[in-house]
Amino acid sequence: MSVSFIFICKYFVNNSESATFSVDRILVISSDSNLQKPKPCIMSVDTKKIRNVVLLGHSGSGKTSFAETMLFESGAINRMGNVQSGNTISDFTNIEQERGNSLFSTLMHVKWRDSKINIIDTPGFDDFIGEVVCSLKVSDSALVLVNAAHGVEVGTEIIWEYIQKFQTPAMFVVNQMDHEKADFELASEQIKDRFGPKAILFQYPYNSGSGFNSIIDALRMTMYVFDPQGGKPKKQDIPDSEKEKVAALHNAIVEAAAENDEGLMDKYFESGTLSEEELSKGLTIALANQQIFPVFCASSLKNMGSGRIMGFINDIIPSPADRPAALLEDGKNLPCDPKGPAVLFIYKTMSEPQVGLVSYFKVYSGTVKAGDDLTNLKNLQGERISGVYEANGKVRNTIDYLQAGDIGVTLKLKNSHTNNTLSAKGFTSSLDPIHFPAPRIDTAVMPPSKNDMEKLIKSLHQIEEEDPTLILEQSPTLKQTILHGQGQLHLDLIKYRIEKVNGVHMDFEQPKIPYRETITKVANEVYRHKKQSGGAGQFGEVHMRIEPYYEGMPDPSGLTVKNIEVESLDWGGKLAFYWCIVGGTVDAKYASAIKKGIMQKMVEGPLTGSNCQDIRVCIYDGKMHPVDSNDMAFMLASIGAFKTAFKNAHPQILEPIYDVEITCPESAMGDIMGDLQTRRAIIMGMDSDGHHQKIKARVPLSEMYQYSSKLRSISQGRANFTRKFADYVAVPSDIQQKLIDAHKEEDEEHHH
């Protein structure tokens, strides 16, 4: 058995020119121990030397494996794990290891040459788009991985929209070049087709498939040849057969570098080329301005290509200081300056067993260290930073401080969650928050018993604070607890966490639909409420006209309007209440009781118990009794009149309709269209976007239950959808009758 000694030293920077080390601790590692924990990357880092890189890509593009090769190549770990064995530094939670997929974003870091590279690995399923969006918020560049065998997939398209939104400098890595079906040419063509001519080849494979071992680099004008086990390649001359192709690619790179700087452009015209330093400067500017999207190739499984990509990140990728100043909520900007006020932004929170709340943050200004007292600018609560850590997956190392631009972790904050800004005293404006996508799927939650309900709601609120793409709604109208999420996988993960971590069993069931009720014709009704019991009785008579309400409609014919109240209803739509009684047959003091009765019935409509909307009610006559009339009598009379008039006014049930947009490969279109027709969908249009198709349809919400799972199965996970509430539309008459009958049945059961 061989034994290695690792000396872990404290590193002191005395001034700008000298540094000293003192031995902190010694690790003794035997060669047959299991996979090593990541070694701490202990250093004091200047903002200019930080690189914040997010790994993005469709599920199966190899992001987690690529992160593993970056850690291994940099020496942060001394043996590579793999996804199949569940021993990678990223994907460290039990559920990720069980499923073999990333479900959360993972923060890691490496030292490469003179840079500290913070790496955030993200999930590829769009159910976990929240993890992608929050990681993009704090990253200064994106590495988009494309599967060499599958090319540009739907997940890549969705991610690209967010890259554009955040204006993040991006580069592509065509990964898995060792796959037997790897096709670099097709993948790189698809990248150019979809993302435009700014996608420029910096590398291409000399050979691909199972024998892949050589990469031709057009920036460095060299060929890298790898040993079978990967790692550091040997440099070789470019074969004669490739020289013309490489020269053309190199010229395209030099031109792109010169275009963004007048001085460089002049130099390029004069000498026809640029020095390495000039080329680096020009490429950094071009990349920072999204003028180029370099395309590289690699095999994360064989550990071929990641070192060169890290070299490019070190040399060319912009540092946090090179990126535009962060936007504040008051419209001002916050420069990334280590000498500025201490300001940090929490981009992700997670509750861990035995640890409690873990907060992942980026320092946007100043320096943050343990013991700092900061203020949460959302709730104005004070927070003490108990400790500052660098993370490699679940391994966290204490460090003295983090400077502007760096990303780290702290524990056990009391009043702070995702999207909160914490700052030193005197700084008052929060950073612009992360804008998360709207939910696309709903489910009702059923606890096993009423006793567990309180515990369940508390647990769900805790997850909702950690995950802003989850919305918990306790709907008084539907009398259900509804979870709104991004997809079935997202909701299944919530269920897993609630059951495993919080020990509460919960079931999902179809949520009720928030139907609305309205009328289409005019109806008049006279209703008398009379009750005689012992002493004082109850008496009230109401003459009521109801009709459909719309903005700007003429006054009711044949009636004298004394008073108008137009109420905007909480659930949408209006109630227009007209008092038209002339001659005091009913005192105006009873108007509010009559309106209250109508509102009571509007909340729980006569047909299905759903909310009513867009109705005008005119009270034009009635009778009262000098002794027996009171508010209660008139309220009950108005409920009776409204209920009967409503049923005579040709009532209609309205259902919520959603605008649905589906992005899919052409091969799945037929099945998707066929499925939409079974859902009473109206196809609004189709067009192609790159090599994908977009289908726009209007679909009733009642037909969308579990659509996320259905779409995944009919497209083999290669389609995605977004949805947005559009309108309320009348349900077909056969469905209306079924809904009325079902409500009647439910009512009878309830009364029995």
Please write the tens of the pLDDT for every residue from 16-52.
Answer: 333 434 344 434 433 333 344 555 545 457 999 999 9
Domain boundaries, the chain: 52-322, 326-423, 442-501, 517-648, 653-734
pLDDT at 752 over 80: no
**CATH class, 52-322 region:** alpha beta
Give the pLDDT mean for 264-289.
82
Amino acid 89: pLDDT:
85
**pLDDT score of 14 more than 50:** no
Q: Which residue has the higher pLDDT, 94 or 224?
A: 224
Helix axes 669-677, 707-714, angle to 10 degrees: 150
User: What share of the chain in percent tops pLDDT 70?
Assistant: 93
pLDDT tens readout for residues 280-328? 888 999 999 999 999 999 999 999 999 999 999 999 999 999 999 999 9
pTM above 0.85, yes or no: no
The answer, yes or no, to whether residue 389 has pLDDT greater than 60, is yes
Q: What angle do CA 110, 116, 118 make, to 5 degrees?
A: 65
pLDDT at 6 (0 to 100) = 46
Beta-bridged to residue 173, according to DSSP, are 145, 296
Which single residue is written with the structure tokens 């918990």?
472
- Using DSSP, state whether 336 is helix, strand or coil: coil
Give the model confidence (pLDDT) of 138-152 as tens digits.
999 999 999 999 999
Level-2 CATH architecture, domain 442-501: 2-Layer Sandwich (3.30)
- Return d(Cα 145, Cα 152) in angstroms, integer: 9
Domains 517-648 and 653-734 share a fold: no
DSSP structure class, residue 469: T
Residue-level pLDDT at 353: 79
Would you say domain 326-423 falls under CATH 1.20.1300.10? no
pLDDT at 40: 53
- pLDDT, position 44: 55
Give the contacts of 247 (CB within 8 A, at least 6 positions apart).
none
Q: Give the pLDDT of residue 534.
A: 66
pLDDT band at 716 (very low <50, low <70, confident <90, very high): confident
In the predicted model, what is the mean pLDDT of residues 492-506? 88
pLDDT in tens, 107-128: 999 999 989 999 999 999 888 9
Regarding the domain delimited by 653-734, which CATH topology (the fold level of the hierarchy) does it fall under?
A: Alpha-Beta Plaits (3.30.70)
Is the domain spanning 517-648 CATH 3.30.230.10? The answer is: yes
Q: What is the 3-state secondary structure (H, E, C) of 417-453?
A: CCCCEEECCCCCCCECCCCCCCCCEEEEEECCCHHHH
Give the pLDDT confidence score for residue 55 in this predicted structure: 98
pLDDT at 39: 55
CA distance 638 to 602: 12
CB-count burial class (<10 Å; 0-12, 13-18, 19+) for 449: exposed
Residue 259's pLDDT is what?
84
Half-sphere exposure of 68 (CA within 13 A, CB side): 25
Over 70: is that where the pLDDT of 84 sits? yes
Please give the structure tokens belonging to residue 711: 């779409």
Query: So what's the pLDDT on residue 17?
Result: 36
Rounded mean pLDDT of the chain?
Answer: 89
* Torsional sign, CA 726, 732, 738, 739: positive
> What per-residue confidence (pLDDT) applies to 750?
67
Cβ 613 vs Cβ 601: under 8 Å: no
| Span 173-224, pLDDT tens digits | 999 999 999 999 999 999 998 899 999 999 999 998 889 999 999 999 999 9
